[in-house]
Structure 1
Amino acid sequence: MKMRFSLLFSFVIVVGLCSYKFSEAREPVCSKFAYEEQLLEKMIRTEIKVETMVNEIKKTEDKVISTLGDIKQTVADFTDMFADMKGNITNEMLNRGDEIKRREETFKTSFEETRKNLTSDIEAEKEKLFQLQGKLEQPAIAFYAHHLKDLLLDTTDEILIFEKTFTNEGTGYDTSTGLFTAPVGGLYQFDVHICTSYKKYAYLGLVLEGSVITAHAHFGDENSSCTSFGAIKRVRSGEKVWVKSTSSGSNRKLTQGSYSMNTFSGVLVSY
């Protein structure tokens, strides 16, 4: 800027001198004093003009410098404002990111707890359905036989044959042999009810595949009387259960009638 001002000032001086010489050539020569007076006057006018021009240039320079300063300050203000905005936006984004992460972790934890609870509930319901299905699919196995073919217990290990049935669900009981054959494996309950004659004995046993699982003895004293015995036993499919005499003799005898029924029964309790 100072270089431009020096060049402009030199240009003004040269122009002033050229103008002075041009004017001097046209004016008539009078005297040396008049010439010097005119020359001094013109130099003063030229100096005033130059000074005026310098002042204008200075004012212009000041305005330019002021404008540049304003522009620089504006740029600085915008830079600071942009930096603040950038910082705010960055902080806001970081805060939003942290909040999203927290919510994501909360959602994951809640989802995992819900999944575990739901899985547990589903397993429990599946177990209930499985048990219910088992109950629905469990066949009805039950028999209730009565009326003995032979009342004398004169042979040891003799099988008591109950010739009639009120119930025979699953057709497991055979009225011709007195044997019950389990159609399916499971937990069974068996009951035996017998009545003895006056002063007669009865020694009986409940048998599973040849092994006595419960035994009973009964004596009819002054009158005929009745008694019961039984057992709960797990029986495999195809295994046989029956009632037999465990002791024989002439005084071993049963009785039966309208009020003294001999019965043999069994029912599948569960698989």
Structure 2
Amino acid sequence: MRFSLLFVFVIVVGIYSYILCEAREPVCSKFAYEEQLLEKMIRTEIKVETMVNEIKKTEDNVISTLGNIKQTVADFTDMFADMRGNITNEMLKRGDEIKRREESFKTLFEETRKNLTSGNEAEKEKLIQLQGNLEQPAIAFYAHYLNDLLLDTTDEILIFKKTFTNEGTGYDTSTGLFTAPVGGLYQFDVHTYNRKYSYLGLVMEGDVIAADANYGDANHGCNNFGAIIRLKSGAKVWIKSTSSASNRQLYQDSYRFNTFSGLLVNN
């Protein structure tokens, strides 16, 4: 608005200057001068009116343009606000989707890890068992030579004082007891010669599990007995006299050995 008023002022000053210049032109009479002056004023008024109209149109165009610019800025502002809102919502949706997929992946990974761990543990147990089977310890003994051949005491333990084989050191030559170093299936064999009568039993933890009876024989007859039994680690096995008397006696020499043997068949 200030620009429009200044522009009108400049135009009025210019017109006034023009009129003064025209007034200096020579005239023939006072009437002619006035007529010319009136005509010039009319023409000037028309020009001023035309200029004012043009200024008004220009002002209207400027105001309209400013309004359009303002509306355009508002439209762009709304559009950017909508775009920002849409982008924000889309980012939130993407964030939720990524979080959901991350949780799903964690769950799947944990289940897979548990399955692999369980499978590995099962396979590990199988491998340990297989390794144990492949690395079965060598448990075996073969004992002979009795210091005391008389069987005059019931439940007397036969103590074989010498061993040809004692893998695993399960047999004790001082007590006559075999102690299982590991649990498993064992086989035991007893071979004896008799001078007169003999009643013997193979004992496991106090229970007779195999028995033998030999009667008088001038040729020192022999007999064999034994058993296959499953023992726990630490279980004890021995041979004892199951019946005693003065005529109960075994026999041995360099040609005849009384023996007690056993071995681990499978653990």
Q: TM-score, normalising length from structure 2?
A: 0.70
- Of 180, 184, 206, the residue aligned with 2:181 is 184
Q: CA deviation at 1:82?
A: 1.7
14-23 or 226-235, larger mean C-alpha shift: 226-235
| CA 104–82 in structure 1, closer or farther in 2 if over 3 Å, else same | same
| CA 40–177 in structure 1, closer or farther in 2 if over 3 Å, else same | closer
Mapped to 1, the partners of 2:231 and 2:18 lie a distance apart of 145
Q: CA deviation at 1:90?
A: 1.2
Identity %: 63
| CA 21–171 in structure 1, closer or farther in 2 if over 3 Å, else same | closer
Report the counterpart of residue 89 of structure 1 in structure 2.
87
212-221 or 121-130, larger mean C-alpha shift: 212-221
- Of 27, 41, 47, the residue aligned with 2:39 is 41
Q: Equivalences for 1:189-268 in 2 at 5 Å? A: 189-192=186-189, 203-207=199-203, 212-214=206-208, 230=227, 231-234=229-232, 236=234, 241-249=237-245, 264-268=260-264
Q: CA deviation at 1:11?
A: 3.2
Mapped to 2, the partners of 1:107 and 1:125 lie a distance apart of 26
92-101 or 6-15, larger mean C-alpha shift: 6-15
Question: Is the Cα–Cα contact under 8 Å of residues 204 and 243 in structure 1 kept in the other structure?
Answer: yes
Question: Is the Cα–Cα contact under 8 Å of residues 186 and 265 in structure 2 kept in the other structure?
Answer: yes
Question: Is the Cα–Cα contact under 8 Å of residues 194 and 254 in structure 1 kept in the other structure?
Answer: no
| CA 186–34 in structure 1, closer or farther in 2 if over 3 Å, else same | same
SS in 1 for 2:27: coil
Answer yes or no: is 1:127 the counterpart of 2:121: no
Mapped to 1, the partners of 2:213 and 2:178 lie a distance apart of 30
Report the counterpart of residue 26 of structure 1 in structure 2.
25
- Alignment-mate amino acid for residue 14 of structure 2: V
Mapped to 1, the partners of 2:43 and 2:112 lie a distance apart of 101
Mapped to 1, the partners of 2:45 and 2:150 lie a distance apart of 168
Report the counterpart of residue 218 of structure 2 in structure 1.
none
Q: CA deviation at 1:88?
A: 1.9
Mapped to 2, the partners of 1:22 and 1:177 lie a distance apart of 158
| CA 218–131 in structure 1, closer or farther in 2 if over 3 Å, else same | closer
Mapped to 1, the partners of 2:99 and 2:134 lie a distance apart of 51
- Of 97, 100, 118, the residue aligned with 2:116 is 118
- Alignment-mate amino acid for residue 206 of structure 1: L
Mapped to 2, the partners of 1:139 and 1:249 lie a distance apart of 41
Q: CA deviation at 1:169?
A: 5.5
Report the counterpart of residue 137 of structure 1 in structure 2.
135
Residue deviations 1:124-169 (CA, integer Å, cap 9, x gap): 2222233233333331213577999999856645555889999876
Mapped to 2, the partners of 1:179 and 1:219 lie a distance apart of 20
| CA 50–205 in structure 1, closer or farther in 2 if over 3 Å, else same | same
**What is the RMSD computed on CA atoms of the aligned residues?**
4.3
Mapped to 2, the partners of 1:160 and 1:11 lie a distance apart of 148
- Alignment-mate amino acid for residue 63 of structure 2: I
| CA 179–240 in structure 1, closer or farther in 2 if over 3 Å, else same | farther
- Alignment-mate amino acid for residue 240 of structure 2: K
Report the counterpart of residue 62 of structure 1 in structure 2.
60
SS in 2 for 1:26: coil
Question: Is the Cα–Cα contact under 8 Å of residues 4 and 59 in structure 2 kept in the other structure?
Answer: no
Mapped to 2, the partners of 1:177 and 1:12 lie a distance apart of 145
Question: Is the Cα–Cα contact under 8 Å of residues 147 and 159 in structure 2 kept in the other structure?
Answer: yes
- Alignment-mate amino acid for residue 105 of structure 2: F
Q: CA deviation at 1:101?
A: 0.1
132-141 or 243-252, larger mean C-alpha shift: 243-252
| CA 21–151 in structure 1, closer or farther in 2 if over 3 Å, else same | closer
SS in 2 for 1:267: strand
Q: Unpaired segments of 5 or more residues in structure 2? A: 216-220, 252-257
Question: Is the Cα–Cα contact under 8 Å of residues 187 and 264 in structure 2 kept in the other structure?
Answer: no
93-102 or 53-62, larger mean C-alpha shift: 53-62
Q: CA deviation at 1:95?
A: 1.1
